[in-house]
């Protein structure tokens, strides 16, 4: 019996299944937060700490053993003996642990970056944070002092990956090292990591501010910049020359099993690459017909390819300044604010800001990104940011998409923390893409061009089913993938390039969007048919959003429960 299993049953047979389960996930969640304390990414900070996480091979092996023990203990708890919502919690938690364990077993930590983010750029989110007290500043300084150790461990891990052929394709790191070089070149107060010290709260005494600033400058100069310089040398002299030339995930060690595991992780569905590819082709044909009908509404005379060229080149469809793009995004978001309450019953308290993607990330970043408290709009290369797509992008990334769903989950009391604060791509991206669809009913698309922009975004996500499986299973070339997106969507050339590289570097993640949206739309159609006049759109959306981020089969079961309840909102007061 494992140590975890023995601990869980230490109080004897009188323990209920519920208590054993609660004890297990409470203990593991606390351990998990400690393991990753100090890590940051675009979705918000992890648990506060004055250091960065340990990522060395010994720590990775320890985590693998720990999660294997957790899964053994979990399997020993009879799901059928759990009460009520605990059975749902069990299904969600088991999927989380299986994913965490799978990634450890495939050693994904040996490939710690993709095409638009990596361990070195994620630290930039810490640097851009706002700190309210001296402890937070000292924690920041502690993380800066820890960068040399952290980078050294990551470098050793990447060498282990190179040695067994588990690396990013050579084309991914090529051209993506400037963000490392920018940290090296920016000295003193110009360095990104000094940003929090430019404006410090008046509640910190002046003398302490001066001491903290002096320590920051010394740490950046003595430890941060040298660590980034060593990383840049490693990437240029070792990683890129030794990285693999092929791009398919199935060409990696145990690649077929790895790609299937990534599909299961990101879609929460056990689908084969061939089935996904065929579904993508079928959906693309449906969307293409809708796009042709919309072109007729514009009065445009010419072929589909001619219309795409017109959209990509006519100045009327592009902002002239970054401020214009940001203001248009804000205007669309405010239109949504005026209507979202008619479609969703419970809204989060947390608001979100609209800001440009940081300049050092923008050239290789997506067109936008949303999360708790933030909607990032990429204002780099304005000819690649069409205004006709901005309504769909805004619905997806801000409200009612990511910047609504994620805070709402965190604010939902009664759910365990592993449901409130975790993110499952099929659910989160599926919901955000469904919000683009919902924009039609909300009246957010005002012109045929904006409707075409929505359809182009639908085609873009359906095309991912074709392109991702094409690249990683059917061994498409990068050029084949670029050609497919160019011929079937209105994406600009720059965005086509960044998207294809993203799919290459992040196998299967791109599959989660359209499959997730299809699941939600299918659930809605099923509920509408079953409930008839009793169907309430606000209650349905409340049912979807009340779960937190869950696997798609769990969401399907939740909608079955919603139908069985007569379409009652989970927040409705029970009848006396």
Q: How many CB atoms lie within 10 A of CB 517?
A: 23
**192-239 tens-digit pLDDT:** 999 999 999 999 999 999 999 999 999 999 999 999 999 999 999 999
Q: Are residues 456 and 331 in the same domain?
A: yes
Is 538 among the domain residues? no
Strand, coil or helix: 443? coil
Report DSSP letters for 524-538, one per residue.
HHHHHHHHGGG--HH
Residue 375 pairs with which residues in a beta bridge? 354, 370
**Closest CA relative to residue 45, chosen from 124, 152, 114, 108:** 124
Distance CA 245, CA 278 (A): 27
**Closest CA relative to residue 45, chosen from 109, 97, 116, 123:** 123
Is 27 among the domain residues? yes
Q: How many CB atoms lie within 10 A of CB 289?
A: 10
Could you tell me if 212 and 168 are in contact, meaning their C-beta atoms sit under 8 angstroms apart? no
Give the pLDDT of residue 203: 96
Q: Domain range holding 429?
A: 261-515
Q: Are residues 28 and 147 in the same domain?
A: no
Q: Are residues 371 and 270 in the same domain?
A: yes
Is 553 among the domain residues? no
Is 62 among the domain residues? yes
Number of domains in the chain: 3
User: Looking at the chain, how many residues does it have?
Assistant: 576
Give the pLDDT of residue 93: 97
Helical (H) or strand (E) element with 495? helix 493-505
Could you tell me if 118 and 235 are in contact, meaning their C-beta atoms sit under 8 angstroms apart? no
Quote the Cα angle for 129-133-138, to 5°: 75
Q: Are residues 68 and 205 in the same domain?
A: no
| Structure letter (DSSP) for residue 575 | P
Choosing from 465, 485, 515, the residue where a domain stops is 515
Report DSSP letters for 327-350, one per residue.
HHHHHHHHHHHTTGGGT-SS--S-
Burial 524-554 (b: 16+ CB within 10 A, else e): beebeebbeeebbbebbbbbbbbbbbbbbeb
Q: Residue 315: is it exposed, middle or buried by C-beta count within 10 angstroms (0-12/13-18/19+)?
A: exposed
Is 479 among the domain residues? yes
Q: Are residues 371 and 335 in the same domain?
A: yes
Alpha-carbon separation of residue 59 from 4, 35, 37, 108, 115 (angstroms):
18, 9, 14, 14, 26
376: left (phi over 0), alpha (psi -120 to 50) or beta: beta
Q: Are residues 449 and 308 in the same domain?
A: yes
Could you tell me if 184 and 225 are in contact, meaning their C-beta atoms sit under 8 angstroms apart? yes
Distance CA 303, CA 326 (A): 32
Distance CA 292, CA 439 (A): 20
Is 558 among the domain residues? no
Is 152 among the domain residues? yes
522-530 contacts, C-beta under 8 A, 24 or more apart: 523/555, 523/556, 523/559, 526/559, 526/563, 527/559, 527/562, 527/563, 527/567, 530/563
In three-state form (DSSP H/G/I as H, E/B as E, the rest C), the secondary structure along 271-300 is CCHHHHHHHHHHHHHHHHHHHHHHHHHHCC
Distance CA 373, CA 129 (A): 12
Helical (H) or strand (E) element with 212? helix 206-219
**423-452 tens-digit pLDDT:** 999 999 999 999 999 999 999 999 999 999
Give the pLDDT of residue 491: 87
Q: What is the pTM of this model?
A: 0.92
**Closest CA relative to residue 537, chosen from 258, 298, 345, 322:** 345
Alpha-carbon separation of residue 273 from 469, 472, 511 (angstroms):
6, 9, 10
Distance CA 534, CA 295 (A): 37
Is 539 among the domain residues? no
Residue 169 main-chain phi, psi, to 5 deg: -60, 150
Q: Are residues 26 and 144 in the same domain?
A: no
Helical (H) or strand (E) element with 493? helix 493-505
Q: Are residues 20 and 123 in the same domain?
A: no
Using 50 as the pLDDT threshold, list the residues of the chain that sit under it.
1-3, 5-14, 42-45, 576
Q: Are residues 223 and 304 in the same domain?
A: no
Give the pLDDT of residue 114: 93
**Closest CA relative to residue 437, chosen from 468, 406, 391, 374:** 391
Q: Which residue has the tokens 């070149």?
A: 185
Q: Are residues 457 and 352 in the same domain?
A: yes
Q: Are residues 333 and 450 in the same domain?
A: yes
Distance CA 529, CA 318 (A): 42
Q: Are residues 511 and 488 in the same domain?
A: yes
Distance CA 112, CA 235 (A): 13
């Amino acid at each position: 019996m494992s140590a975890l299993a023995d601990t869980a049953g230490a109080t004897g047979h009188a323990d209920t299944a519920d208590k054993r389960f609660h004890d297990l996930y409470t203990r593991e969640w606390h351990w998990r937060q400690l393991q990753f304390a100090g890590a940051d990414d675009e979705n918000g900070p992890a648990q506060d700490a004055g250091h960065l996480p340990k990522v060395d091979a010994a720590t990775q092996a320890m985590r693998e053993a720990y999660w294997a023990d957790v899964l053994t203990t979990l399997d020993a708890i009879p799901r059928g003996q759990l009460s009520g919502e605990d059975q749902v919690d069990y299904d969600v938690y088991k999927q989380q642990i299986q994913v965490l364990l799978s990634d450890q077993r495939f050693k994904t930590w040996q490939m710690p970056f993709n095409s638009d983010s990596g361990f070195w750029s994620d630290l930039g989110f810490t640097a851009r944070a706002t700190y309210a007290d001296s402890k937070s500043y000292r924690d920041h300084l502690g993380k800066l002092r820890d960068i040399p150790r952290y980078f050294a461990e990551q470098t050793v891990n990447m060498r282990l990956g190179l040695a067994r052929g588990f690396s990013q394709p050579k084309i991914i790191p090529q051209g993506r090292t400037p963000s490392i070089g920018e940290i090296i070149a920016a000295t003193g107060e110009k360095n990104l990591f000094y940003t929090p010290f430019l404006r410090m709260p008046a509640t910190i005494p002046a003398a302490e501010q001066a001491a903290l600033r002096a320590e920051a400058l010394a740490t950046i100069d003595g430890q941060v910049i040298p660590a980034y310089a060593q990383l840049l040398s490693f990437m240029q002299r070792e990683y890129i020359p030794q990285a693999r030339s092929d791009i398919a995930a199935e060409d990696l060690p145990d690649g077929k099993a790895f790609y299937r595991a990534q599909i299961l992780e990101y879609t929460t569905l056990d689908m084969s690459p061939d089935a996904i590819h065929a579904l993508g082709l079928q959906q693309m044909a449906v969307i293409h017909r809708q796009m042709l009908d919309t072109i007729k509404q514009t009065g445009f005379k010419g072929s589909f390819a001619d219309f795409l060229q017109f959209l990509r080149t006519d100045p009327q469809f592009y902002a002239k300044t970054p401020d214009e793009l940001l203001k248009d995004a804000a205007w669309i978001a405010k239109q949504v604010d005026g209507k979202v309450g008619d479609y969703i019953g419970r809204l989060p308290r947390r608001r979100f800001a609209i800001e440009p993607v940081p300049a050092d990330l923008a050239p290789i970043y997506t067109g936008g990104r949303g999360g708790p408290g933030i909607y990032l709009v990429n204002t780099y290369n304005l000819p690649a940011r069409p205004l006709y797509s901005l309504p769909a992008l805004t619905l997806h990334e801000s409200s009612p998409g990511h910047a609504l769903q994620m805070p709402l989950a965190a604010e939902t009391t009664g759910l365990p923390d592993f449901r409130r604060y975790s993110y499952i791509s099929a659910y989160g991206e599926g919901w955000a893409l469904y919000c683009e669809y919902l924009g039609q009913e909300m009246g957010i698309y005002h012109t045929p061009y904006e409707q075409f922009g929505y359809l182009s975004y639908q085609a873009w996500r359906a095309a991912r089913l074709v392109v991702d499986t094409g690249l990683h299973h059917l061994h498409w070339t990068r050029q084949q993938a670029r050609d497919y997106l160019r011929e079937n969507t209105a994406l600009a050339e720059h965005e086509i390039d960044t998207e294809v590289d993203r799919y290459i570097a992040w196998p299967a993640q791109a599959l989660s969007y359209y499959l997730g949206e299809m699941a939600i739309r299918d659930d809605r159609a099923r509920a509408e048919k079953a409930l008839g006049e009793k169907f309430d759109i606000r209650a349905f959306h409340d049912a979807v959003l009340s779960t937190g981020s869950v696997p798609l089969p769990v969401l399907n079961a939740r909608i079955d429960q919603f139908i069985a309840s007569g379409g009652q909102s989970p927040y409705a007061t029970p009848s006396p």
